[in-house]
Structure 1
């Protein structure tokens, strides 16, 4: 299954200050490699030929960096206004198409099996509207907040915030984009779409068997470098 990849790179990176005062968060380096290049490496490992990168904050720096990359093929979706994750996908619809897409956050790193391979092995297009990659909360390196989801025996997700939630979202998914395209808000989070899918019984999850680190804050960079 060939999927276009969407890499979220538009945010202002406020949690990563002061490193992001003059550098967009996707170009912050972890182990001498930018976070964006860590995400693009996952696209290459998965054999995905094309990636769409959404940009807003210091967008010219990201576009210049992307112009130096030949594999995968990269398209830039510039957002004059911050649109959040759902609005970012909808704004890039003309670049992504209507078939399932893979999305990746640009502030996480994975160590182990390709996250795309894990998702593709579990993906069932006939019954899933989205399949989220999950990390057990007790293995979520660098994550300080509550959990996000619990996982039913059949793989469906349900919300359970706080200390009792067993899993957090690991920043990668396969998604049917049409429900996002049909949403009528200008700027909105994918959480809105996920909650609609939960109500319909079509949001699924699969645990990631490798190691993972949230790189959203400067103090997490050494954690990620040790993991890598």
Structure 2
């Protein structure tokens, strides 16, 4: 089984300044390649029917990079839409049904998180399945985690696992929100209330590359030099 993939690539990259003064964060080089290309590798490995990306900041630069790679670009204008609004805005490019979403500012070392999510996905009981990383394996990230995972995989808010930015989600619930720009946290909260938000624990390492300090760590992770 495979599902359409949405790459979240619209953000301003404020934590990455000054490197993002003249380019979008997904195009910052990491180990000799644009950061977003590492995420694309994860998506391509599961042969999705289509890949789309939402763009806003310096959209023309990302569009020039992604379209030759077969990625459908959805430009958010005039305002950025955040994750919830961005996914809803990209649905025409993705088709109907569940989708994989991937943040583009992280490096994964270990099993392909997308493949693991697809293998565990059960749409009969799940409205979303998130990949979480134990804090001890979440490099360049501070904090005790975003979610607590029960033995049956159900999530609650609290310490335990850091959301790594990879998930499968049913987007239909987005239609209930009147806001134009909003976070997927609002949809997750509804799923939590209905006991339909699930998670997996990642068995490898993950690095946040949302700030300049994360670049060297990510390179070390990729090159096995940490």
Answer yes or no: is 1:79 the counterpart of 2:73.
Answer: no
Answer yes or no: is 1:199 the counterpart of 2:204.
Answer: no
**Alpha carbons of 1:40 and 1:181: their partners in 2 closer, same or farther (altered >3 Å)?**
farther
Give the counterpart of 1:176 among 167, 170, 175.
170
Q: CA deviation at 1:184?
A: 2.0
2:221 corresponds in structure 1 to 227
Question: 1:1-80 counterparts in 2 under 5 A?
Answer: 1-69=1-69, 73-80=70-77
How far, CA to CA, are the matches of 1:173 and 1:134 in structure 2? 9
Q: Is the 8 A contact 1:134 1:205 kept in 2?
A: yes
Give the counterpart of 1:117 among 111, 115, 118.
115
Q: Is the 8 A contact 1:39 1:104 kept in 2?
A: yes
1:153 corresponds in structure 2 to 151
Q: CA deviation at 1:51?
A: 0.8
Q: CA deviation at 1:219?
A: 0.7
Q: Is the 8 A contact 1:24 1:57 kept in 2?
A: yes
1:100 corresponds in structure 2 to 98
Moved more, 93-102 or 14-23: 93-102
1:141 corresponds in structure 2 to 139
**Structure 1: gaps (5+ residues):** none
How far, CA to CA, are the matches of 1:187 and 1:146 in structure 2? 28
Alignment TM-score, normalising by the size of structure 1: 0.94
Q: CA deviation at 1:186?
A: 0.5
Alignment TM-score, normalising by the size of structure 2: 0.95
Q: Is the 8 A contact 1:93 1:181 kept in 2?
A: no
Superimposed CA distance per residue, residues 12-31 of structure 1 (whole angstroms, 9 cap, x where no aligned partner): 00000000000100101110
Q: Is the 8 A contact 1:98 1:176 kept in 2?
A: no
How far, CA to CA, are the matches of 1:113 and 1:33 in structure 2? 20
Q: Is the 8 A contact 2:84 2:183 kept in 1?
A: yes
